[in-house]
Chain A
Amino acid sequence: MTPSWALPCARSCARASDAVDAAGQVRRVARALWGRTVQTTVQVGEPRDDARSVLTLDALTDPVLHLPAGVGPQGDLPLAMAAHVAAHLRFGGNPQARRGLKPVQQVLLAVLEDARVEWLAMQALPGLRAVWWPFHADAAALQGAGFEALLARLSAQLLDPAHEDPHAWVARVRRMFFELDGRSLALKTPAQVREAASLLGNDIGQMRLPFNARTYSVHARYRDDNSHLWIPDDALPPSDVPLQADAVPPTDEASSASPQPIPTEPDAVHAEWDHRIGRYRPRWCSVYGGAPPPGPSAWAPGALVSGERRLARRLAGIGGALRRSGARAVDGDELHPAALVDSALDLRSLRTPDPRIHRRSWRPMPPLAVLLLLDASASTEGNGGGEVLARIQRTAATASLALQRLGHRCGLWAFSSQGRHRIDMPCLQHWDEPLPAMARLRGAGSTRVGAALRHALHLSAQDARDHPGWRRVVVLLTDGEPHDVDVHDPAYLPADLQRAAREARAQGVAVRALVFAPGELGPLARALGAGHVRRCDTPAGLPRAMAHLLAPVR
């Protein structure tokens, strides 16, 4: 089960949803085979028959396999790709220098190395031969005589020793690759492979077979281009395969205008409480909605799974008020008085009594509709790294997943302000939607939290009209106290927040706050009540803090 947000760069792959599924499938299987983590993504551009995967290795991150565009999840191709890349990661050696090998020898080395890691993989997973063979069968049958055709025939020959290719050179490589028994591996190490490639390359030179390294692409579709076998060489021209990471995202309607069009009309204008005059200032704060700005994905696929699991388990233990069922049941904790009377009557009048004489009691957790309100002001950006905001965002996403898993409704909005005329509240996840792929938020502006809370109440009330009967909660995720550029009285915004919290209580909406380090509990605790505010300093503390905040919501 991979939620849609777990897919890498979902935005640029949106047009090729099949490829996205294939990427997830390749990632899952490759990881499961030998426990080596690999991330997958899809190359940009139109599908091409000769496009091959590219595996990029970086010491700091997981290896990334860039799949060619247009790979579907059907058939054996994802499994073949996953098993091949997993075999490279499990059995491959370190990248080698290209120096000392001619292009022909380099290509030969790659073919032999592919065969070597696949042979080792098949020792543990004998089913792989049947998975890989169909991608080689055509080359084996066609028996072309050019160098590239010979390489394809050689790959088929080395994959299946039982297949006997009549070509003399292929037979010679076969004798080098396998031991005398024709099955066991002779070229056991990358160094032996390099030596053999160097030797065999000379044969090809003598056979005067032409070879164009620029147009060459590995025959079997599931194999990668093997660029990861080599130490990156700056002297070489860069690869012309446009990888996701450094490519310009495709321009479609959603992202064509680089600066987001600024909505001219606010979504809502809310009043604000001025404690100095003891009155509301009507139509004072303008709130703008919209979508968050696009950007690279905020977290690696699958990164939230374990946190979500822990939180859901913790929240599942929250019970609501004790309820006694009025219904009669065959078994239960206590006898149903009316059923007993009926039963006694039945017995005296010689009728068979109804066996349902018990009733049950239970404590169901009330269904919650939780609006998570994320503080995306400049202070959460921290020392430029955006560390606090990243934690807030991950926490909110984890909470949303866990709440939805438990059957609650959940929506996510971020907020930041630049004075009372401009309070931005982009919607990150609308009610009931599955959590979308989320770009990392950038903190900017200030924290006019009272106005944000009023707008959250407004959004919650809107949802309540369509979905009555849910217990409404707003959870504020923030790093500190209210602040805005056009307010100079330090008591003004806290007083307004206190007032907004009172409005929430009057509307039957519970307001809770989760405060992230280095924020202080004080100002929020004064406004919302000490029991309604909790610190959340580490991800591990989230389940406890959330359970504490949501448990008394009845």
Chain B
Amino acid sequence: MVADPLADWRITREPFYQPVGHEIAAFDAARTARLPLLLKGPTGCGKTRFVEHMAWRLQLPLITVACHEDLSAGDLAGRWLLDAQGTHWMDGPLAQAVRHGGLCYLDEFMEARADTTVLLHPLADTRRVLSLERHGELLRAHPDFQLVVSYNPGYQGLHREMKPSTRQRFVALGFDYPDPPVEAGIVQREGQAAPGLAAQLVQLAIRTRRLRDEGLEEGASTRMLVHAALLAHAGLSPMEAALQAIAEPLSDDPELGAALRALVRASF
């Protein structure tokens, strides 16, 4: 047995995170009460960064699983593998975190297949157990185990809705894009942008978010603004940077694309 089986998942350098409310205290409280946490919010608004920051702050190893439509319960819990000696069991990422004590972060959880939900139920309530049916094991959670899942309620994708039986096992924190001055501060710091450019990018993002009513899935995220700022820092003009980092990636639809390019053109 290795001394620290999750050593690779420990975060040693502080990830930058700009608190926008009381989310750090809220996370701490959920952690103390050993309650699973649900993070809701649009993509690119800082959910993943927040979890990384909290894992660093709490000195917990962080196992992140990016969920996708093919992710099944077996992918999370573990499965039998075959080698020269026969079959052997290998823990999935969730089972590893439960067994050894760590923060398991299921990103965009509602993208995963429906059978994963069932796996979480006994883990997310007072039982705190993970049933590894195929392995014939009932795994009791390590005291350090913490479950965090995120999902994006506004996302237009075709994932499922969360059932009340799942929803009510979690405590939830709502995330949104930060207020314009805070968001500009983040863009300025992370994207190494001048204050004026950061503020202009944030205003552009607010304008793209209004296109949601016209069928755009999501407006520009804070992450995209940072990308645009980094491109501008690397030498592109602000307009080129915004086209490349914001307007083009946001939509393939010709009409929305034209509207996005028009917004960029008007902004710089």
Contacts and interface: CB of A to CB of B under 8 A. Distances in A.
A130 B115 CA distance: 55
B262 A305 contact: no
B211 interface: yes
Contact of B255 (A2, A79, A312, A335): A2
Contacts of B262: 25, 29, 78-79, 82
Contact of B268 (A25, A126, A405): A126
A33 B74 contact: no
Interface in A441-482: none
A383 B179 CA distance: 47
B213 A83 contact: no
Interface in B243-268: 251, 253, 255-256, 258-259, 262-268
Interface residues of A, number: 50
B214 A331 contact: no
Interface in A498-544: none
B73 A32 contact: no
A440 interface: no
Given A25-B255, A25-B259, A28-B255, A360 B72 contact: yes
Contacts of A406: 158
A502 to B, nearest CB: 34
Interface stretch (B12-20, B27-35, B77-85, B95-103): B77-85
A317 B160 CA distance: 4
Interface in B125-149: 134
Contacts of A313: 156, 158-161
B29 to A, nearest CB: 31
A436 to B, nearest CB: 17
B210 A335 contact: no
Interface string B37-81: 000000000000000000000000000000000001111000110
Contacts of B80: 335
B256 A1 contact: yes
Contacts of B74: 331-334
A334 B259 contact: no
B214 A131 contact: no
Nearest to A340: B82
A127 interface: yes
Describe A's contact surface by its main secondary structure.
helix
B168 interface: no
B156 A1 contact: no
A192 interface: no
Interface in A20-59: 21, 24-25, 28-29, 31-33, 35
Contact of A24 (B84, B216, B255, B266): B255
B121 interface: no
B215 interface: yes
B113 interface: yes
Nearest to A547: B161
Contacts of A219: none
Given A33-B266, A78-B262, A316 B159 contact: yes
B263 A305 contact: no
A387 B28 CA distance: 52
Interface string B206-233: 0110110111100000000000000000
Interface string A293-312: 00000000010011001001
A309 B72 CA distance: 25
18 contacts: A1-B216, A1-B256, A29-B262, A31-B210, A31-B213, A127-B265, A127-B266, A127-B267, A131-B265, A313-B160, A316-B158, A316-B160, A319-B114, A333-B115, A334-B74, A334-B134, A358-B79, A405-B158
Given A31-B210, A32-B259, A78-B262, 10 more contacts: A2-B214, A29-B259, A32-B210, A79-B262, A127-B265, A312-B156, A317-B114, A317-B161, A335-B82, A358-B79
